[in-house]
């Protein structure tokens, strides 16, 4: 299985076509806003039932200010770019290109499932259902598929991580 191979489309082959970046950024901001509203409504509903919604998404952060800043930059910017390039641009793109010709739209669904499972596995399962990674993996793939731009899942992933880290910081 050859995942990395030169293609005539260049970076456009993994969703980084210059002509699609602006639309991808716009789509990422819209998806992020919508997802944020849904997550906020869910948190309010859980709180109404006496469940600590922050406990479900709390991230262990360092205690020193400099390390927190480093964590936010790496986790909120560097990691989302690297992970989206790999999991959506390479992995999802590979499985989509291999499964869609054989299975049509069902091939896309399988590519979403496979790349999401690999994404979840790479984040390590530390007891309990890794709901944030499962939902994120599906949302990132669907946003990429719909926008045809890797900028969309990068924006969603980056803003989502930053929101989770910020909430964890505020909940200390």
Q: For the chain, 172 residues long, give each residue's pLDDT as a single digit of tens.
A: 455 555 666 777 777 788 889 999 999 999 999 999 999 999 999 999 999 888 877 788 888 999 999 999 999 999 999 999 999 999 999 999 888 888 888 899 999 999 999 999 998 877 777 888 999 999 999 999 999 999 999 999 999 999 989 988 887 7
Q: Is residue 1 part of a domain?
A: no
- Residue-level pLDDT at 138: 95
Domain count, the chain: 1
What is the per-residue pLDDT for 116?
A: 96
Q: Would 65 be classed as within a structural domain?
A: yes
Overall pTM surpassing 0.75 (yes/no): yes
Contacts of 108 (CB under 8 A, 6+ apart): 96, 99, 100, 145
Domain-embedded: residue 13: no
What is the dihedral sign for C-alpha 105, 109, 110, 114? positive
- Asked whether residue 156 is domain-assigned, the answer is yes
Residue-number span of the structural domain to which 42 is assigned:
18-170
Query: How far is 151 from 21, CA to CA, in rounded Å?
Result: 6
* Predicted pLDDT of residue 16: 78
Among residues 119, 127, 77, 38, which one has the least CA distance to residue 30?
38
Cα separation, 160 vs 76, whole angstroms? 8
Cα–Cα distances in angstroms (integers) from residue 55 to residues 74, 82, 139, 168, in the given order: 23, 27, 22, 9
Residues 6 or more apart whose CB falls under 8 angstroms from that of 166 comprise: none
How many whole angstroms separate alpha carbon 105 and alpha carbon 110?
A: 9
Q: Is residue 135 part of a domain?
A: yes
Per-residue pLDDT at 66: 92
Query: Which pLDDT belongs to residue 119?
Result: 95
Residue 3 lies in a domain: no
pLDDT value of position 67: 93
With 0-12 / 13-18 / 19 or more C-beta atoms within 10 angstroms meaning exposed / middle / buried, residue 92 is buried
Q: Do you know the residue count of the chain?
A: 172
The two counts, helices (H) then strands (E), for the chain are: 8, 0
Specify if 5 maps to a domain.
no
Residue 83 lies in a domain: yes
């Amino acid at each position: 299985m050859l995942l990395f191979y030169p293609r005539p489309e260049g970076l456009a082959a993994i969703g980084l076509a210059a002509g699609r970046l602006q639309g991808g950024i716009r789509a990422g901001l819209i998806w992020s806003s919508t997802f944020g509203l849904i997550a906020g409504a869910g948190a309010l509903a859980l709180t109404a039932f006496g469940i600590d919604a922050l406990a479900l998404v709390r991230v262990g952060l360092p205690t020193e200010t400099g390390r927190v800043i480093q964590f936010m930059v790496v986790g909120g910017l560097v990691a989302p770019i690297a992970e989206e390039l790999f999991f959506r641009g390479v992995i999802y793109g590979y499985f989509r290109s291999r499964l869609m010709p054989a299975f049509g739209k069902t091939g896309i669904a399988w590519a979403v499932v496979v790349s999401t499972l690999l994404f979840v596995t790479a984040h390590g399962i530390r007891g309990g259902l890794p709901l944030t990674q499962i939902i994120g993996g599906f949302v990132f793939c669907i946003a990429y598929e719909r926008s045809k731009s890797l900028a969309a899942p990068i924006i969603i992933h980056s803003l989502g991580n930053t929101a989770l880290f910020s909430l964890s910081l505020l909940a200390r």
